[in-house]
Amino acid sequence: MHNTGSFHVGFAEQNIKINWQGSDSRELIEFLCGDLPNNTSNNPRSVYDLEVDYAHSRFTLGCEERRLYCGDDCYELAYALINEIIYQCIVDLKDGLAIHAGAVHSGQGGILLPGKSGSGKSTLTAWLVSRGWRYLTDELVLLQGTNPKIIPFTRPVSLKAGSLKVLKSFVDFNKESAVAGPGGIMLAHRLMNPHFIQVTPPLALIIFPQYVAGSMTEITRIGGALGCAQLMECYVNARNFKDHGVERLAGIARTTPIYRLKYSSFDVLYEALNNAFPEFFHERSQNNIPS
């Protein structure tokens, strides 16, 4: 008989309950959600049922009477579960601005990397972490307060299949440290950042990454109005505010340096970033993690 149990995961003070069957299911939840708060202070907002069976390649995810996934691709199951957790935690959120972004931390503060899917933010986040930055997230942050802190939704690094060749150029990994499928891979961020500690640093810099095959590396300062407009494209809980949160977002754009980064290769990227932002991008290594 399968062993069973439940796991509570929280973000933005929400409580999501996940019932699991079998040790494979428990291990997958720990892999996906181990860096998120375990919140049992509130009643569960939603309850999910998860079953993972690697031996028979059978993966199912349900919520009440809904079947959310049933198939043989663990990556698609994991992707579906993470997206469900994010949705449940931010759908009614009014305490903070939820931004679709990667984020890393240096001794000078938090660097936000907003972007839509396909912009290259997850690959860039992973590369920066491999060079010594502290990992926060590659997916979602909350910005809270007048001088906002970055509150990260910390999950494994998630990359589409097309990014695997680039990832393997700077990270060594095996199947035990990843959840992979035809569509992509989720990778344990501690492979790149073994000294990981949860932090909520102040926001210090915003860089919009844009991967463009064959392009030259370009770093361009953009003004507050354009920066606010681009942040709006990555802002996912606007409907919860009377003014769509525009005033708060505009305040952040006015007081935070914002840049656009266009790149196609990591070969010269470090030098370009170091020249543009020496206070953030001086030489680092995995043995010199910022405090």
Q: Where are the domains of the chain?
A: 4-90, 97-276
H or E element that contains 171 = none
Nearest to 137 by CA among 114, 118, 116: 114
C-alpha span between 115 and 228 (Å, rounded): 13
Task: Please say whether the beta carbons of 9 and 37 come within 8 A.
Answer: yes
Nearest to 75 by CA among 182, 191, 188: 182
Kindly state the tokens that stand for 233. 């494209």
H or E element that contains 73 = none
C-alpha span between 142 and 145 (Å, rounded): 10
Q: At residue 1, does pLDDT exceed 50?
A: no
User: What letters, b where the CB count within 10 A reaches 16 and e where it falls short, cover 241-250?
Assistant: eeeebeebbb
What are the strands, taking DSSP E only, across the chain? 4-9, 16-21, 46-53, 58-63, 66-71, 97-106, 109-114, 134-137, 140-144, 149-153, 157-160, 178-181, 184-187, 203-211, 218-221, 258-263
Instruction: Please give the torsion angle defined by the CA atoms of residues 129, 135, 141 and 144, in that order, rounded to the nearest 10 degrees.
Output: -120
What's the pLDDT score for residue 162?
A: 82
What's the pLDDT score for residue 145?
A: 79
pLDDT digits (tens, 9 = 90+) for 224-245: 999 999 999 999 999 999 899 9
Nearest to 103 by CA among 280, 263, 264, 287: 280
| Rounded percentage of the chain residues whose pLDDT exceeds 90 | 69
C-alpha span between 195 and 152 (Å, rounded): 17
The HSE-up count of residue 258 (CA atoms within 13 Å, CB side) is: 20
What's the pLDDT score for residue 2?
A: 57
Task: Please say whether the beta carbons of 39 and 85 come within 8 A.
Answer: no
Three-state DSSP at 216 gives coil
What's the pLDDT score for residue 32?
A: 96
**CATH top class, domain 97-276:** alpha beta
Kindly state the tokens that stand for 111. 């660097």
Backbone angles phi, psi at 272, to 5 degrees: -65, -45
pLDDT digits (tens, 9 = 90+) for 42-86: 899 999 999 999 999 999 999 988 999 999 999 999 999 999 999
Backbone angles phi, psi at 112, to 5 degrees: -95, 135
What's the pLDDT score for residue 102?
A: 97
What's the pLDDT score for residue 290?
A: 40
Largest alpha-carbon pair distance within the chain?
A: 61
For 246, residues 6+ apart whose C-beta sits below 8 A from its C-beta are: 228, 232, 238
Q: Does residue 214 come out as left (phi exceeding 0), alpha (psi in the -120 to 50 range) or beta?
A: left
pLDDT digits (tens, 9 = 90+) for 107-131: 889 999 999 877 889 999 999 998 8
pTM (global) more than 0.85: yes
